[in-house]
Amino acid sequence: MNWVNAVIHGILLGGVYALLATGLSLMFGVMRIINLAHGSLALLGAYLAFLLTEHAGVSTYFALIAVLPIALLFGYVLQVTMLERSLRAGELVPLLTTFGLLIVIANLLQYFFSPDVHSLPSGSIGSASWRVSSTITIPWFDVLILGVAIFVLVGLQLLLTRTQLGRELRATAADAETAELVGVNARGVYARATAIAVATAALAGVFYAMRSAFDPFAGPSQLIYAFEAVVIGGVGSLWGTLLGGIVLGVAQTVGAQIDVQYFALAGHLVFLAVLVVRAVAAGGLRRLSFSRTVTA
């Protein structure tokens, strides 16, 4: 039983989740959209990088640099063409749109790439690790991912707090109608938010693909962990997403230490516990009664 190793790995795993969850958090925080296709978009990024590494012979990291601007553009177009309309049509309609997107992407990927499993080369750092002691080993690649996740989060945080776009984003997220009344183009803001979200998804996808194998249907599998990270950390908070990812990762690795089969279960139980405790604390005892009448 090595708890320290487990906790360290859990923290690193948290970084992986946080990277994937960032885009989800952004879209839900700003637009209240639950993007069911987020995992699929990450996967698209991985496949795109795959194409570049296989056919252009470049390193994965170089491919990543090429993938990002494409992902930004894709996200922008996605919002402007599909999600914007869905959002205006109703709160639940984006669920349908993103679900449709998920299925279309998965099936098209299968058609073009076959159901084979692939993996992206991660270079020498991919297999290197730091043997701290006889019981503690830290894989450098996961440290890299955590670093990237923190870098992205810091970047986004700076964007949100120091730039005009960031202010417009926060204002639109708080009150889109009033934001329009002071001159903010809400639709343009949304489009840029989605662009960023899809770009971070693609980034996460490429790193995931370097870390483990992927196939056309790998999209939704990690999605639940990403969602858990967002919700644990508190919707709308970027740092919360990192914290949520870490809480989840540690819960999972510690659970796995107790019994390998408890990996996911431990994470889920911690998720539910955090949620309920928070909801009860926020809602207070007011909701315990079956009848709700307004107090003066």
Q: Which residues bind another protein (CB under 8 A)?
A: 28, 32, 34, 36, 82, 85-86, 89-90, 92-97, 99-108, 110-111, 164, 167-168, 170-171, 174-175, 177-186, 217, 220, 224, 227-228, 231, 235, 261, 264-265, 268-269, 271-272, 275-276, 279-280, 283, 287, 289-294
- DSSP 3-state of 139: strand
Which residues make Cβ contacts (< 8 Å) with residue 83, sequence separation at least 6?
31, 33, 94, 97, 98, 190, 194
Other beta carbons within 10 angstroms of residue 212's beta carbon come to: 12
Taking each helix axis as running N to C, give the angle between helix 3-31 and helix 140-162, from 0 to 180 degrees, rounded to the nearest 10: 30
- Measured CA angle at 232 (ends 157, 265), to 5 deg: 140
Give the nearer residue to another protein in terms of CB position, either 127 or 287: 287
Identity of the residue, 3 or 111, whose beta carbon is nearer to another protein in the bound complex? 111
Minimum separation from the CB atom of position 273 to another protein (A): 10
Q: Return the SS3 of 279.
A: helix
User: Measured from the CB of residue 128, what is the shortest distance to another protein in angstroms?
Assistant: 33
Question: Taken in order 163, 170, 29, 38, is the CA torsion positive or negative?
Answer: negative
End-to-end CA distance of the chain: 57
Nearest distance, CB of residue 201 and another protein, angstroms: 17
If the CB atoms of residues 136 and 180 are measured against another protein, the closer one turns out to be 180
Smallest distance from another protein to CB 241, Å: 13
- Shortest distance in whole angstroms from residue 280 CB to another protein: 6
CB of 171 to another protein, least distance (A): 5
Phi first, then psi: give them for residue 97, nearest 5 degrees: -60, -50
Rounded CA separation 287/73 (Å): 45
What single letter denotes the amino acid at residue 60? T
Task: Tell me the angle at which helices 263-283 and 238-258 cross, rounded to the nearest 10 degrees.
Answer: 130
CB nearer to another protein: pick between 101 and 143: 101
Calpha distance 98→140 (Å, rounded): 35
- Residue closer to another protein by CB (options 89, 158) is 89
> Which CB, 56 or 85, lies closer to another protein?
85
